[in-house]
A and B are shown apart, each in its own frame.
Chain A
């Protein structure tokens, strides 16, 4: 199979999954199986591309020219290959989980849900493999629009207003900041292609670079840096599979991935290091990390707490991008994988607890640990990985980020990262502690939903296992960035 065909196949597979789900909408089992099949196919393709990239193969396909210097083109970068691998592999698990959750929770409109879920994955893959900034932008918007029906899925007043907030922040920021920034780059350089080392150096007025970086970081609202983070907690009204795959992996990672790509392939780390235009962003990211950690402590709703934790973790990646040193970028890219694995575990667990025990609040978890041991086991694994305890995969990325900040002589940043880990311990492990406290106040009727239990266990264990195989990914990451 030729390389360009692989890209097309990978991108349209989720669309076919959506189409077949629609065709088979009257047969629930058949309909839901297409998510898993689609996940498997895209996973295999992503894996092949991932290995191809490691062997310096080129994956590129151009369709047509949009306007001067900008084609509708896909080109897989090493960063993109990682992101697609993460998204597609977790899609398999999330599909299995979705079946258990949606049926267990008795949600309506499951067909629509499955369809838009697949379309969202399609957009995420296209973002990962996009060949220039405009193509990335197109699929960024498609991702926003396709996740809107998922956020507003319950169609009650709360979810509708949440959906509106979600859409208005994401689309609004992208149209006000991101698109003009893209135009600006195009007007200055005449191209939007991703190139190693960036395209802005010697082309873009250095004194305005800070402004451009600001437009980008605020325009890519999916990266959820403060003060445009409000949409993420709001989106938690969605069913948990959405929160798990989309708002811990696909959507938010698409955001930070976009920002990382812009830093690495458009602005160029070297240019950034010369001008120091992103140093202010380091502090904003630090502020977001600390502030959202503190907010997370005060939240009693488990999913909201996890959402704020996500905001804080996303800022790790932005922090890494803003530092722009090779170690920090390595850490930031690697954090996409590590955080995805760990956070999806946590969300899976939160959803599983909701489906089986109908509990949403941390304070009501007393004694649940004894009744749902597997779920709490998986949860603990995920939490430890996010905290960054060896031997969990999360410790690698944190290590590189701290090294990166020391490399740039931001000692305070390293300290902040440390404090943030302490806060993580508190708010992520508190549910576990409560869960294993005796004296359950009330009897809870449990519903069985085995399909929601195993996916988190698998992802949780992989957090542990991949600690030892981190080099497998790290090679790919460092290959790109150091060049």
Chain B
């Protein structure tokens, strides 16, 4: 979790930021799923035996969250692609210097 956050903050590359975000989110998902684990539990399938089973709700939630996460990553990657098309780089520093230059030109 912290690793992902660290990547987002420190990396200069937009692509790496998206990857960091994905790692961060996945870590949270795993945390969620781990909440559901019941000791000696099995999959929550309705059988005649009365078994201890893991809580299915977090799984369901995380399924939703994964979809959201995928969408976020997809949109992030699409944006990175667009940024690359417009700036021909995805390095934060280079883009900043490009912007500074164009600001100066405008003035």
Tell me if chains A and B make direct contact, with any CB pair below 8 A. Answer: no
Interface residues of A (CB under 8 A from B): none
